[in-house]
């Protein structure tokens, strides 16, 4: 499976962080590894005890950032 990195980049840039259960660093690094170059950033989010709601990347944001769709 290959992640849609452009959409995940948009998620990391635009989504508000919400509270979540902290994830141990070794687990976070292992779980986030599938995101390739964004894995470290994803692990940092989990280790910090936060999450990024995927619904933040919806119609309005994608309409405003339509060039992202060309990079998928």
**pTM to 2 decimals?**
0.87
Is pLDDT of 72 > 90?
Answer: no
The whole-angstrom separation of Cα 5 and Cα 61 is 16
pLDDT one-digit tens code per residue, 15-56 = 999 999 999 999 999 999 999 999 999 999 999 999 999 999
The whole-angstrom separation of Cα 42 and Cα 15 is 13
pLDDT, greater one: 69 or 53: 53
Is pLDDT of 1 > 90?
Answer: no
Place of tokens 């990024």: 52
Tokens of 14: 């635009």
The whole-angstrom separation of Cα 54 and Cα 62 is 12
CB 38 within 8 A of CB 8: yes
pLDDT band at 10 (very low <50, low <70, confident <90, very high): very high
- Domain map (residue ranges) of the chain: 5-71
């Amino acid at each position: 499976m290959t992640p849609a990195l452009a959409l995940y980049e948009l998620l990391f840039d635009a989504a508000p962080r919400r509270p979540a259960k902290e994830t141990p660093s070794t687990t976070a690094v292992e779980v986030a590894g599938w995101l390739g170059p964004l894995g470290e950033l994803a692990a940092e989010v989990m280790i910090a005890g936060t999450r990024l709601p995927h619904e933040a990347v919806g119609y309005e944001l994608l309409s405003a950032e339509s060039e992202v769709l060309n990079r998928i």
